[in-house]
Chains A and B, each alone.
Chain A
């Protein structure tokens, strides 16, 4: 098992040694050329990091130097071109982008769109494909579909799977020579990667932000006779607003046995350790307690996809590395690394469901 670590424009070549000494063995990054940006802006991005300058390299020289340093240290670099939809009119721009990427001698490409996989074949680019989470491989049959048609080396397993579901999928693919990678820490996204169809922009609160900022309301569904009831109610005009009216009867019946109010947070209990909100701002979502089982089932790579300043990214790399190096990382060991009992008690902070971590 090894760590694959996300780089961004802040990651100059001199930082690579630091990351390697903290456990990173492989790196991944995105590249958006200046010409692309001037034409399409940040939002129409060749990869899934469309939020602005901090997330992608935009200068050939910078990524070239970083790639050279990575390879000089015997590590690997994969480049993400995992936008999910790539129309015909962008293909020439994409081809030029990929040809520039080829000059960095990447070890593989992280791709979501089968159309782009077809284009790479056409362009004679035979670097191994890493199936992005955006490829939506939730089952062995989906993986087999891609492997049958494209040069797949690795499957990035979607974030919204249970450990048992992953295990079954991996066991079913024992005859194929593919690697498996999972996201392990950082923002998990509310929606599935492959099925989030909204615009993501660095200047706007995005759709998942709107969801998380909203109050959730739970209500009974209307009964099957709702249309008949509606007609009756409409014909009763202002008589509706009386105690024994049809509309009142309908509303009372509809609201009877209402579902409980949605409450998604566990009350905070602990007064010791790092506060939940501070831990949350560093780690966002955390899958440390799942690493032992992921290793047992045959997952090869742990993805640390954070972007931002080194001071912000490094703690996440260090805790993942500490767990990965431990032959028996118990939930207690993982919790001690995070140092925030409140953060760990709130199950929605977990990347994956590990029931034994909450006993």
Chain B
């Protein structure tokens, strides 16, 4: 790893930078108190994971790495795309810290979302025409190629469709293998599947050439227990990994919006979203899992903290770690 980045989805969270990195030692409190504050409620796993992950980041910093890049922007919901003025403020914020700036754009853009992104790209272009832009929707790649060819696109984690095996990374949890009509042993199939899940489309040489012809300079992936089969030349692209949250799934229907407009939990409507996710969150309890898994707005996340040590110890495993102090939504 040679670069440490930090990701904030909006200006409000960015302005909490120092606070979000501050480590608080929960072990200094009585266990009952810690339980009272942080357990039993999936909506606050986010905060508990912040405290433990901040300690990991502190350790990484002590080893000589420091933040040198700001990721700024929204990946999951077009209702939460920052305004162009916020992009500008965040850009200058990063410059003051002498950090590089990366604009993160979202998935699932309708015509409305695409237009909002076009305005943000235009504002960023005025500031730095060769800035880095994370692309999570091919619509945005289309805009970059046609209107902003000097930007440096990075394929975002939502355009990388690797199956996330993060629900099955405990030693006790075997991969589900449906054996009906199959003669091969589940053990053999399990091995072949894990290898297949680590072997991603990016390794297809024709696809890789295609991406490079689009000007792509990097790729971001979630951390998964199966990892990635990456060739010695690293695909010729910078690889970034997100920590400590892996995205399991995303919808445009949203349970948090659904608390106020019930149908929105399941279907998309034209009614304005009042952005209730700024105030509260609605997550399934997921009693079937014994590790942090949390729905935040329309996206579902699972903590990947238990994978970071292995990931950091891989030689030439990746180039950039993207730290998300809180779920970036």
Which residues of A are in contact with B by a Cβ distance under 8 Å? Answer: 37-44, 51-53, 58, 84-91, 112-116, 118-119, 121-122, 134-142, 144-146, 148-149, 158, 160-162, 164-165, 168-169, 172, 188, 190-192, 194-199, 201-204, 207-208, 210-211, 214-222, 224, 226-228, 230-231, 233-235, 237-238, 240-241, 247, 251, 258-260, 262-266, 347-348, 350-353
Contacts and interface: CB of A to CB of B under 8 A. Distances in A.
Given A41-B189, A89-B199, 8 more contacts: A138-B139, A160-B252, A198-B248, A218-B256, A218-B280, A219-B41, A234-B33, A353-B270
A348 B265 CA distance: 8
A138 B109 contact: yes
B108 interface: yes
Nearest to B76: A195
Interface in B1-51: 16, 19, 22, 24-26, 28-30, 32-34, 36-37, 41-44, 47, 51
A199 B168 contact: yes
B192 A197 contact: no
A116 B201 CA distance: 8
A350 B202 CA distance: 37
Interface stretch (B57-65, B79-87, B95-103, B172-180): B172-180
A265 to B, nearest CB: 8
Nearest to A196: B249
Given A88-B203, A191-B251, A240 B168 contact: no
B319 to A, nearest CB: 21
10 contacts: A40-B189, A140-B139, A199-B163, A201-B178, A219-B44, A220-B279, A230-B37, A237-B33, A264-B266, A348-B265
A287 B96 CA distance: 52
Contacts, number: 347
Given A84-B161, A197-B161, A259-B280, A115 B206 contact: yes
Nearest to A248: B36
Contact of A161 (B32, B110, B114): B110
Interface stretch (B66-74, B124-132, B284-292, B303-311): B284-292
A58 B202 CA distance: 28
A234 B279 CA distance: 25
B282 A162 contact: no
Given A161-B268, A217-B42, A118 B210 contact: yes
Contacts of B200: 85, 87
Contacts of A230: 24, 26, 37, 51
Nearest to B33: A240
A168 B111 contact: yes
Contacts of A350: 263, 267
Given A142-B138, A199-B163, A227 B24 contact: yes
B182 A113 contact: no
Contacts of B107: 136, 194-195
A235 B28 contact: yes
Contacts of A119: 204, 206-207
Contacts of A84: 161
A258 B43 CA distance: 13
Contact of A90 (B42, B163, B182, B199): B199
A91 B247 CA distance: 26
B251 A190 contact: yes
Nearest to A258: B280
Contacts of A258: 280
A146 B179 CA distance: 37
B109 A41 contact: no
A260 B259 contact: yes
Interface of B: 16, 19, 22, 24-26, 28-30, 32-34, 36-37, 41-44, 47, 51, 107-114, 137-143, 158, 160-165, 167-168, 175-184, 186, 189, 192-193, 195-207, 209-210, 222, 229, 247-253, 255-256, 258-260, 262-263, 265-270, 276, 278-289, 295, 300
Given A40-B189, A219-B43, A347 B182 contact: no
Contacts of A89: 195-196, 199, 203, 229
A238 B30 contact: yes
Nearest to B201: A115
B170 to A, nearest CB: 14
Nearest to A89: B199
A92 to B, nearest CB: 12
A139 B140 CA distance: 10
B273 to A, nearest CB: 12
Contacts of B295: 211
B192 to A, nearest CB: 5
B207 A218 contact: no
Nearest to B299: A195
Contacts of B51: 230
Given A44-B193, A201-B176, A226-B47, A39 B276 contact: no
A40 B248 CA distance: 22
A234 B207 contact: no
Contacts of B247: 195, 197
Given A226-B47, A264-B262, A88 B204 contact: yes
A137 B110 CA distance: 8
B110 A165 contact: yes
B109 A162 contact: no
A211 B300 contact: yes
Contact of A162 (B34, B270, B286): B270
A71 B161 CA distance: 34
B11 to A, nearest CB: 13
Given A168-B110, A199-B175, A210-B286, A44 B192 contact: yes
Given A136-B108, A139-B113, A211 B284 contact: yes
Given A139-B110, A164-B270, A218-B282, A231 B163 contact: no
